[in-house]
Amino acid sequence: MKGTKIRIRPTKKARIEIIPLIDVIFFLLATFVLFTLSLNRIESLPVDLPVPSLSSTPPDKDDLVVLQVSAEDSLFWNREPLEFSELPARLAFYKSQTDIPKIMVSNDEKAKFGAAVKVLDEIRKAGIDRFSVETTNTRQTGR
């Protein structure tokens, strides 16, 4: 019996075709370019910052009221303890006694933000528009 010869085809090595790869890269590039062009432009609001003047006199410390909020949600009016329920009446009295009422709101390190917001709301309700918020606190509660 004569043996049958089986032909085995040589296996081709895999290759990476560069043309389809370039097509995919250009497609991704075009997609990102169109996406970035369709983004909305970020618009900002103009803010008029105050300009310090050398001729103005420094604010009188006697007229400034420091309202301090502590970690236990207790209030201090110029280092004097104050109940939150007494705040609206005290603000109204202060506004009636002072020509230009000025208030600075200060917080403890551990004070909750909600309590400070309530104090700011009461100041706004009292009609006092000159107030500031102390951003760096170096004093202890009630001091």
pLDDT in tens, 88-126: 999 999 989 888 888 888 887 777 788 888 888 999 998
Residue 34 lies in a domain: no
- Sign of the CA dihedral 95, 97, 100, 106? negative
Residue 68 lies in a domain: yes
> Residue 81 is part of a domain; what is its CATH number?
3.30.420.270
Tens digit of pLDDT for each residue in 62-98?
678 888 888 777 888 888 888 888 889 999 999 898 8
Residue 102 lies in a domain: yes
Q: Burial, 84: exposed, middle or buried (Cβ in 10 Å; 0-12, 13-18, 19+)?
A: middle
- The pTM of the full predicted model, rounded to 2 decimals, is 0.53
State how many domains the chain has.
Answer: 1
State residue 57's pLDDT score: 52
Residue 57 lies in a domain: no
Residue 103 lies in a domain: yes
Element (H, E) at 64: strand 64-69
Residue 30 lies in a domain: no
Residue 7 lies in a domain: no
Residue 55 lies in a domain: no
State residue 40's pLDDT score: 72
Residues in CB range of 81: below 8 A, 6 or more apart: 74, 75, 142
Question: Which two tokens mark 124?
Answer: 């706004």
Residue-number span of the structural domain to which 92 is assigned: 64-133
Q: How many Cβ atoms are within 10 Å of 98's Cβ, its own excluded?
A: 14
